[in-house]
Amino acid sequence: MESGRWRRGAVSRGMLPLLALHAANEYYRLPWKPPVTAGLLAANTLIYLRPAFLDSLLPFVDEVWFNPHLIIKNKDMKRFFLSVFYHVDESHLVYNMMSLLWKGIQLETSMGSSEFASMVVVLLGLSQGITLLMAKSLLVFFDYGRPYYSEYAIGFSGLLFAMKVVLNSQSENFANVHGLIVPSRYAAWAELILIQMFVPRVSFLGHLGGILAGILYLKLKGSYSGPDPLTRIIRELTGVLRWPIRFIRNMFRLRRQRISGRGTVGSERRSLSGIWRCPACTYDNNDWARNCEMCGTSRSNNGGFLRQTSRRSRDIPLEELRRLRVERFG
């Protein structure tokens, strides 16, 4: 999460094509493509680029800076939720998205898309809420309003710190944090200190709020034995949204089957609607076919069998039938 004032007219350093190439390469080699991670990458990048078709819909960055004073004073939930998806410049965006790509792929692959999406929503609310609470507490109890209570910050890194805590919670390995080897479960704390030492412009409270949000999420998840209600809701919603896609896909699949007229030989599955099985060679044919495509047995209009050709009869030797199959499909 980057703090400070917005700098307009930042010059592109040509890093976005490298991000796109890296993301495409990672997804190409994956057998299963995590959709939620891809959606988060696309959302952050589109908000930064502000294409013409989105320009009128997206608020400007001056309207979404995370500022505890303005959020509490104006009850501005737009700043609370949207500041995560905005970035100061191209390097800020690319660094965060590279980290999101690595963490998101691992978490979504292990958890599943519905649970991962649920986790992202919960971590976003927790990290922003904890950051807001800490900034207000410093003002009320220690009369320390600057820089934290009046700080302006944006960026996805607070949420990335929370995801790092979840990802490394059960790891017994060691991690390399900017050249420092530490146990993986403490990697987020080490990165928090190192980044604050060498990059003073970043938001300390934003990153600390992300770490505490990850710890709280793990505690809540560990204490709740039943299925996550938010995960269930997301799973039901995605199921509803996928239904039209499945329907269209099944329609095209059925159309291809009817055109190709291919079936299965010797299948042990039950007869399906629109398919009839030849009793002579057990080949499954499409319902519109009058004769068996394998051995030529004719079918009557009422589903019975009229006759077999003299050359391909019910008494055809097994070797001959095998030879005919090879001729037809080999």
Task: Just list the catalytic residues.
Answer: 157, 207
Quick one: which H or E segment has residue 284? strand 284-286
Q: Please enumerate in sequence order all residues whose Cβ is within 8 A of that of 291, keeping only pairs 6 or more positions apart, or say none.
A: 297, 298, 299
Question: Where in 122-253 does DSSP place strands (E)?
Answer: 153-154, 174-177, 180-183
Cα dihedral 185, 38, 201, 54, rounded to 10, equals: -160
- 276 strand-pairing partners: 285
Where do we find the tokens 């047995």?
297
Closest CA to 292 of 310, 302, 305: 305
Q: Please enumerate in sequence order all residues whose Cβ is within 8 A of that of 216, keeping only pairs 6 or more positions apart, or say none.
A: 126, 130
The C-alpha atoms of residue 40 and residue 37 are separated, in whole angstroms, by: 5
The C-alpha atoms of residue 82 and residue 151 are separated, in whole angstroms, by: 16
Closest CA to 2 of 214, 200, 138, 211: 200
CB 257 within 8 A of CB 286: yes
Query: How far from 147 is each of 78, 83, 143, 151, CA to CA, in Å?
Result: 21, 18, 11, 5
Q: Please enumerate in sequence order all residues whose Cβ is within 8 A of that of 282, keeping only pairs 6 or more positions apart, or say none.
A: 265, 266, 267
The C-alpha atoms of residue 252 and residue 62 are separated, in whole angstroms, by: 48
